[in-house]
């Protein structure tokens, strides 16, 4: 499913990085040799690197991930599929935790969120020990009842479940942009469960009270948020039919597979069809399909992939919730992690009841399981490859964009009056330095609205060239209008900058990209 996402086109440059900058720069020069800047002639005997809009083949991502994982030790593969957590905002402690454990992901909970967006960006930067292969940083940003970012005032399921589907797309586009701006690549934010029971713990969080209504909003919400932060559907195969709260037990139902496929499955199918790259498995049991919780069920993983066509990353809900169920069989977090990966999950998540040594112990347990034959080495390699592919995607995309303080708006007004510039250039030319190939600088400013949650066109390094993506302008405008109306405002905090025109006018996208 990563092929569906616009961010996946940005990997070509990272593939080149893997073989060393020395090999990259000549290739870049060759691709754009003797190309003068607009209005200039190249001096005799000199060459310039061309920076142009050019998509990279999606196969480059998969190939790079496979190559990296093939070179990993069993321990490195095991560490890559663990997403941990420690409750602190101390940058030193967070960085030491990631460096010491080597794990592939971190989930930010309320205890990790400081008072401002700028402080949060510093925290997420500290977690990315290796910017070329950053961890999968995730957050539960559903909005409403489950909201980690206090500055997210966008509509939540409380109102979206009765609003037109387009409202869900708009809200989650804004929400995804806020998550991305914080330097977080994954949003565990799309609740595909549904119920008409107001007493259910999932009722206020769901996007509909029927299968059809929920599916009608889950698809647009997924597509709206995914270009900014990877959308995650949860909690497969659906809490609505299983009474109880998985935070304190294992909800179960005897619903048949056929009934599930005609009801609970529909919102998940809609999200998968919309390109959701992650699917979170819930700790709930459909006993007619498998008596085990879905998070530990190989059959439910088969159903998602073979019946619904899911191709992305399968991630568990917090494995600590299995322990809080009180069921003796689920009291060992390490055994739970091994069982989850063996069942088909690609990443295991540990928050509740975990400490700083929980994730490292899970890594040890996965290694021991492979060595003893309890866990297939091929299954671990498959999981590690899927996760690594996402990490490479996140590396190439960068850490999100913040308001551009150096560019002047050209072709856009400070509000919504002026139409988009029609003659924006399609090619940028300039000297391409080594810094332009570093993935971690791609999060620098290139024209983003100030906290309004909708971004201007964005740049990626692709095979040594700058790749610029256009967002859906019409949808963006609708979302902006909704935002302004909600706050009784008539204009934005900052101008909406057309990056193409900005480059044309000022001669730079951002100094960090090395374009003069």
Cβ-based burial of 415 (10 A; exposed 0-12, middle 13-18, buried ≥19): middle
Q: Which residue has tokens 């663990």?
A: 82
Q: Is the pLDDT of residue 114 over 50?
A: yes
CB 16 within 8 A of CB 60: no
Q: Using CA atoms, how far apart are residues 461 and 284, in angstroms rounded to an integer?
A: 42
Which of the two residues, 58 and 249, has the higher pLDDT score? 249
Residue 484's pLDDT is 53
Q: What is the mean pLDDT of residues 450-454?
A: 31
Q: How many CA atoms lie within 13 A of 335 on its CB side?
A: 7
Q: What is the mean pLDDT of residues 29-44?
A: 34
Q: Using CA atoms, how far apart are residues 399 and 439, in angstroms rounded to an integer?
A: 9
Residue 481's pLDDT is 55
DSSP code string of 417-471: -SPPPTT--SEEE----GGGG-GGGGGS-SSB-SSSS-B--EEEEETTEEEEE--
* 13-27, 169-183, 344-358, 368-382: the lowest-pLDDT one: 13-27
The reply to whether the predicted model has a pTM over 0.85 is no
Q: Which residue has tokens 């009765």?
A: 162
E-strand spans in 80-205?
A: 82-84, 105-108, 136-139, 141-143, 146-147, 186-191
What's the per-residue H, E or C state across 372-416?
HCCCCHHHHHHHHHHHHHHHHHHHHHCCCCCCCCCCCCCCCCCCC
Q: How far is CA 65 from the centre of its chain?
A: 17
User: What percentage of the chain has pLDDT greater than the value 90?
Assistant: 59
Q: Which backbone phi and psi does 259 adopt, to 5 degrees? A: -65, -40
Query: What does the pLDDT look like over 56-65, one tens digit per residue?
Result: 456 777 898 9
Quote the tokens at residue 400: 């999100």
């Amino acid at each position: 499913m990563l092929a569906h996402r616009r961010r996946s086109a940005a990997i070509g440059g990272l593939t080149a990085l893997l073989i060393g900058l020395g090999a990259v720069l000549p290739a870049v020069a060759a691709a754009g040799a003797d190309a003068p800047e607009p209005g200039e002639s190249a001096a005799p005997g000199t060459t310039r690197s061309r920076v142009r809009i050019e998509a990279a083949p999606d196969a480059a991502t998969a190939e790079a991930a496979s190559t990296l994982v093939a070179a990993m030790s069993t321990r490195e593969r095991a560490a890559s599929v663990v997403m941990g957590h420690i409750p602190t905002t101390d940058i030193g402690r967070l960085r030491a935790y990631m460096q010491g454990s080597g794990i592939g992901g971190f989930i930010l909970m309320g205890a990790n969120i400081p008072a401002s967006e700028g402080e949060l960006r510093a925290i997420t930067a500290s977690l990315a020990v290796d910017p070329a292969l950053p961890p999968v940083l995730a957050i539960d940003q559903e909005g409403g009842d489950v909201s980690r970012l206090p500055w997210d005032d966008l509509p939540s399921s409380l109102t979206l479940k009765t609003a037109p589907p387009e409202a869900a797309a708009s809200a989650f586009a804004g929400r995804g942009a806020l998550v991305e701006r914080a330097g977080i690549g994954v949003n565990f934010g799309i609740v595909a469960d549904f119920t008409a029971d107001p007493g259910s713990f999932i009722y206020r969080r769901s996007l509909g009270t029927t299968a059809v209504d929920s599916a009608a909003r889950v698809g647009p919400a997924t597509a709206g948020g995914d270009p900014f932060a990877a959308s995650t559907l949860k909690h497969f195969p659906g809490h609505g039919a299983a009474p109880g709260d998985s935070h304190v037990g294992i909800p179960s139902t005897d619903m048949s597979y056929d009934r599930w496929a005609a009801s609970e499955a529909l919102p998940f199918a809609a999200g998968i069809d919309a390109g959701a790259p992650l699917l979170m498995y819930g700790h709930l049991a459909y006993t007619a399909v498998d008596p085990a919780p879905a998070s530990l069920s190989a059959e439910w993983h088969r159903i998602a992939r073979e019946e619904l066509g899911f191709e992305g990353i399968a991630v568990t809900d917090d494995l600590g919730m299995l322990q809080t169920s009180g069921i003796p069989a689920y009291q060992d977090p390490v055994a739970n992690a091994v069982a989850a990966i063996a069942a088909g999950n690609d990443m295991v998540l540990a928050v509740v009841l975990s400490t700083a040594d929980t994730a490292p112990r899970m890594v040890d347990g996965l290694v021991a399981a492979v060595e003893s034959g309890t866990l297939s080495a091929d299954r671990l390699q498959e999981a590690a490859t899927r996760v690594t592919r996402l990490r490479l995607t996140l590396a190439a995309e960068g850490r999100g964009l913040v308001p551009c303080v150096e560019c002047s708006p050209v072709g856009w007004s400070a509000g919504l009056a002026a139409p988009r510039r029609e003659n924006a250039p399609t090619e940028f030319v300039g000297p391409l330095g080594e810094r332009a190939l570093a993935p971690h600088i791609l999060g620098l400013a290139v024209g983003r609205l100030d906290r309004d949650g909708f971004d201007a066109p964005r740049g990626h390094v692709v095979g040594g060239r700058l790749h610029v993506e256009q967002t859906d302008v019409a949808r963006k405008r609708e979302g902006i209008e909704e935002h302004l109306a909600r706050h009784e405002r008539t204009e934005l905090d900052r101008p909406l900058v057309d990056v193409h025109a900005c480059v044309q006018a000022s001669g730079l996208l951002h100094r960090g990209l090395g374009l003069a």
